[in-house]
Structure formats: C-alpha cells, structure tokens
C-alpha cells in the first residue's frame, strides 16, 4: 500500500520538474534571442542585412565589423566617458546613501514616516519629466556639456533607490551587534564602519550594481545635455552609426554588444551576493 502511494507521487514530482525545466528553457530562449539576433546582425555585411532572402544566421561571419567601429567612431572615448559617469555617480550615491540609510534604520526622529514616503514618491518621476528643469539648473551651474554634470544627475536620481534598499538591509541586521561594539569602546560611526557595513556587504554590493547599471544605461539626459562628441557616453555615442539617410545596423549592433559586455562582467562578479542582497533589502521596517 505504501509503495503504491509513493509511486504516483514520484511520477507527479517528475512531471512537475520537467514542466518547470520547460518553462525555464522557454524564458531563457525568449530573453536571450534578441541578443543572439543582435550578434548575428553584427556579423553580417550591409548587403546581406538588406537582402530579401537573408536568414538570421550570417552567411559569412564578418568579425572585422567589431574592429571597424573603433576607427569609424571614438569608441574608446565613449567607453571611458561611460565608465567615468557610471563609476562617479555610483560612488557619490553610495557615499551619501549609506549614512542616510543607516540613520533611517537606526534612529527615530519626528517626520520620519513622511520622509520615507517622500523618498518613495521621488522614484515616480522619470528624468524625462524633469528634463527642462534639469537643463536650466545645469545651465545655471555651468555644468551643461560636461561629464561632471551627468555624474551629479545620475547620482541624484539613484539616491532614493539607494537609501530605500540599504535601509531594508540595515534593518535586517540586529542592532545588538552595534551595541556590543559601543560597549567595547567604539563610537556610532566606528560601529557602522567596522560592524554594520561588513555584515551588510551583500546588500551594498547589490545596490551598487543596480546604481551602476542605471547610470550606465542612461540616455535621455545625456542626449540633451551633451553636445561635444568627445564627451558623449557610449549610449549616446553609438548613435554615430544612425545617420540621417542610412542606419549601419552591423556597426550599431557591434557597438551595442560592446556596451553590454561591462555590465555582464559586473553581474558575473557579484552574482553570489545578488540574491541575498535583494532579500535583505526587502525587509519591512
């Protein structure tokens, strides 16, 4: 009797597992297919791209397209500008966000609930809605057409996300650890630096990667503020291959792949901390 009960359960479990694998495979194919099509197009010639009898796979892979883009546009400068903008805005957002998140997680003050609500509301405004105001402010400060201006703007737009996610991370850590450190003679700042931040490393790394990606992918503000070609980030610079009369799809997609590679490498480096960081950042306070 026991064997007859276990056998149907085992079959049901196997069927459910097969279905799960099938769904996961479908999701992976749907997600990765655009990147596969992008790579195939980047390896084609212009004649083959516009051929009515063309297929998704290139007849002859032209790896030289990935080399040609470096001579047709200042790709190295675009890449450096993107690194400076994304890296600078990430550093500023983290330096300002960590103390703010710590204060909201550990301290109690009048108007705290309203302040937290304001943080959430500020996330509802897309940069494009505030574009005119942003341009006027940057023009007043003399930061239009400058990398520094984009660094400050990206840091500001990612600040609310940084504070909210890190606050949840800090609240998931027992305050008794910091209390023990203060008993041993540490100040509040020392307890935060030596105890809290090392324990909260997964959440901090997760927040860092999301800020970097948001700043790396930003397009609209950079397009409106930057007019000098050598100051453009990669997201705007690849428009070089999008002309008025012709779009060079093979070069456009080749440059887009170069824009994706740094983000993929960054994800691979912090993948172990990503899930735990998101889980700790989702704690309610």
pLDDT in tens, 58-78: 888 888 889 988 888 899 999
In a domain, 184, yes or no: yes
pLDDT reported for residue 95: 92
Tell me the backbone φ, ψ of residue 247, rounded to 5 degrees.
-105, 120
100 lies in the same domain as 213: yes
pLDDT reported for residue 9: 58
pLDDT in tens, 219-263: 989 998 998 989 999 999 888 888 767 788 889 999 989 888 888
pLDDT reported for residue 284: 46
pLDDT reported for residue 8: 59
Alpha-helical segments (H) within 107-238:
112-122, 131-141, 147-171, 176-183, 188-191, 197-199, 201-217, 220-225, 234-237
Q: Identify whether the C-beta of residue 285 lies closer than 8 Å to the C-beta of residue 168.
A: yes
pLDDT reported for residue 231: 92
In a domain, 65, yes or no: no
Q: In this structure, what token pair is assigned to residue 16?
A: 């459910």
Per-residue pLDDT at 85 exceeds 90: yes
Per-residue pLDDT at 92 exceeds 60: yes
For the domain that residue 120 is a member of, what is the CATH number? Answer: 1.10.3720.10
101-106 contact pairs (CB < 8 A, 24+): 101/162, 101/163, 101/164, 101/165, 101/166, 101/167, 101/169, 101/170, 102/166, 102/170, 102/192, 102/196, 104/163, 104/167, 104/285, 105/166, 105/167, 105/170, 105/171, 105/285, 106/170, 106/175, 106/178
In a domain, 195, yes or no: yes
pLDDT in tens, 186-199: 787 788 888 888 88
Give me the number of domains the chain comprises: 2
Whole-angstrom distance, CA of residue 72 vs CA of residue 7:
65
pLDDT-derived band at 281, boundaries 50, 70, 90: very low
Q: Identify whether the C-beta of residue 143 lies closer than 8 Å to the C-beta of residue 149.
A: yes
153 lies in the same domain as 88: yes
Hey, is 154 helix, strand or coil?
Answer: helix
pTM: 0.82
144 lies in the same domain as 18: no
37 lies in the same domain as 87: no
In a domain, 56, yes or no: no
Whole-angstrom distance, CA of residue 210 vs CA of residue 154:
12
In a domain, 60, yes or no: no
In a domain, 67, yes or no: no
264 lies in the same domain as 131: yes
pLDDT-derived band at 268, boundaries 50, 70, 90: confident
Q: What is the mean pLDDT of residues 129-148?
A: 89
Per-residue pLDDT at 82 exceeds 90: yes
Per-residue pLDDT at 101 exceeds 70: yes
Q: Of the candidates 11, 1, 54, which has an alpha carbon nearest to the alpha carbon of residue 250?
A: 54
Per-residue pLDDT at 38 exceeds 60: yes
Q: Identify whether the C-beta of residue 143 lies closer than 8 Å to the C-beta of residue 74.
A: no
Q: Give me the sign of the Cα torsion angle 35, 40, 42, 46.
A: negative
Per-residue pLDDT at 172 exceeds 90: no
The percent of residues in the chain predicted with pLDDT above 90, rounded, is 20
In a domain, 57, yes or no: no
In a domain, 159, yes or no: yes
Which residues are CB-neighbours of 92 under 8 A, at least 6 positions away? 151, 152, 155
Q: Identify whether the C-beta of residue 171 lies closer than 8 Å to the C-beta of residue 283.
A: yes
- Quote the longest CA-to-CA distance of the chain: 82
Domain span at residue 35 reads 2-42
103-107, 131-135, 252-256, 273-277: range with lowest mean pLDDT: 273-277
Average pLDDT over the chain, rounded to an integer: 83
104 lies in the same domain as 38: no
pLDDT-derived band at 202, boundaries 50, 70, 90: confident
Q: Of the candidates 271, 123, 283, which has an alpha carbon nearest to the alpha carbon of residue 205?
A: 271
Q: Give me the sign of the Cα torsion angle 257, 258, 263, 267.
A: positive
């Amino acid at each position: 009797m026991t064997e007859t009960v276990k056998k149907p359960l085992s079959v049901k479990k196997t069927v459910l597992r097969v279905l799960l694998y099938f769904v996961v495979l479908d999701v992976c194919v749907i997600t990765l297919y655009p990147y596969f099509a992008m790579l195939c197009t980047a390896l084609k010639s212009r004649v083959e791209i516009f051929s009515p009898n063309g297929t998704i796979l290139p007849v002859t892979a032209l790896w030289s397209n990935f080399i040609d883009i470096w001579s047709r546009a200042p790709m190295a400068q675009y890449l450096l500008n993107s690194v400076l903008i994304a890296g600078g805005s990430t550093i500023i957002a983290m330096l300002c966000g960590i103390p703010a998140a710590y204060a909201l997680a550990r301290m109690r003050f009048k108007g705290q609930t309203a302040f937290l609500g304001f943080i959430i509301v500020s996330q509802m405004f897309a940069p494009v809605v505030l574009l005119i105001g942003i341009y006027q402010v940057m023009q007043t400060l003399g930061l239009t057409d400058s990398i520094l201006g984009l660094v400050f703007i990206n840091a500001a737009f990612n600040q609310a996300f940084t504070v909210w996610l890190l606050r949840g991370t800090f609240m998931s850590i027992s305050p008794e650890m910091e209390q023990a450190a203060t008993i041993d003679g540490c100040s509040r700042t020392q307890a935060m630096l030596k105890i809290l931040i090392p324990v909260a490393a997964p959440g901090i790394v997760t927040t860092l990667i999301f800020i970097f990606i948001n700043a790396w992918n930003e397009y609209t503000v950079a397009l409106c503020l930057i007019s000098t070609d050598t100051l453009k980030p990669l997201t705007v610079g690849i428009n070089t291959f999008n002309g008025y009369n012709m779009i060079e799809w093979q070069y456009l997609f080749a440059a887009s792949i170069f824009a994706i590679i740094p983000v993929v490498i960054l994800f691979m480096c912090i993948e172990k901390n990503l899930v735990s960081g998101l889980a700790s950042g989702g704690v309610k306070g």
